[in-house]
Amino acid sequence: MKVATVLGIASMAFAMMGPSASAQATGGAKARGDVYNFWQMQGWQQQTHSQARALYYYGQTAQPTPAQPTPAQAKEHAIAARQGVVNAQKSLAELKKSNPDNKEALAAITKIEEIQKKVLGHCDMMDKALDKADHVEMCSCCADIVNEVDAANVEMTKLMKALKIEKTDLPKRDAPAPK
C-alpha cells in the first residue's frame, strides 16, 4: 500500500473515533511510549552484549577454523556493538525526556548513561585493537563491554521498577494477538 493511502485510512479512522475516543487513545500514550522505549533499549543493549561475546570468542580462538570470522567480519561485530549502544542511548534519551519528575527513574537513567559512555570508550579501544590485530586487547575490551552491559542491565531492572513496567511473557505461537 502506498503511504498516502495508509495515512488517509488512519486519519479517517481517527476522525470516526470522535473526540472522547481520541482523548482516551492519547491518555496512555506516555505509558505506552515508556514501555516501548524501555524494551527497545533493552534489545539494543542485548545486541551490544551479543556482539561483544562473539568478538571475544573470535579473539580467544587459537586456531583458525572455517567458522571463525575474518578480520572484516570482526570489524562488523565491533560496528554492530557500537551501534547497539548508540541506539540504546536514543531510547534512553526518550525515557529521560518523558519522565522529568521521576527521581528514581532519573537516577537509574543517569547510571545507565555513565555505563554507556564507558562502553563506547571500550568500543574505541576495541577498534584500535582490531586495527593492530591485537587479540589480547580486543578480548579485554569485549570482556569489559559484556561486564558493563551486565551492570547496565542491573540498572535497567531498577528503571523498570521506577517506571512501573511489568515484565510480560512472550505470547505463545498459537495464541491470539492481544487487543
pLDDT bracket for residue 119 (50, 70, 90): very high
Q: Which three cell numbers stand for residue 105?
A: 527513574
Answer whether residue 23 is part of any domain.
no
Q: Does the structure show a pLDDT above 50 at 123?
A: yes
Through-space distance between the first and last CA atoms of the chain, rounded to whole angstroms: 24
Place of cell 541506539: 87
Neighbours of 63 (CB within 10 A): 5
Indicate whether 10 pLDDT > 60: no
> By residue range, what is the domain housing residue 155?
28-162
- The pLDDT score that the predictor gives to residue 64 is 53
CA distance 65 to 63: 6
Q: Judge whether 117 lies within some domain.
A: yes
Measured in whole angstroms, the distance separating CA 175 from the mean position of its chain's CA atoms is 26
Which CATH number do you get for residue 149? 1.20.120
**Model pLDDT for residues 125-136, shown as the tens digit of each residue:** 999 988 888 888
Share of residues in the chain with pLDDT > 90 (%)? 41
88 inside domain: yes
Phi–psi pair at 2, nearest 5 degrees: -75, 155
In a domain, 16, yes or no: no
Give a yes or no: residue 18 inside a domain: no
pLDDT for the residue 177: 66
> Has residue 173 been placed in a domain?
no
- CA atoms within 13 Å, Cβ hemisphere of 97: 9
Higher-pLDDT residue of 15, 28: 28
Burial of 175 (0-12, 13-18, 19+ CB in 10 A): exposed
Structural domain count, the chain: 1
pLDDT tens per residue, range 41-95? 889 999 998 989 888 887 887 555 555 567 778 888 889 999 999 999 999 999 9
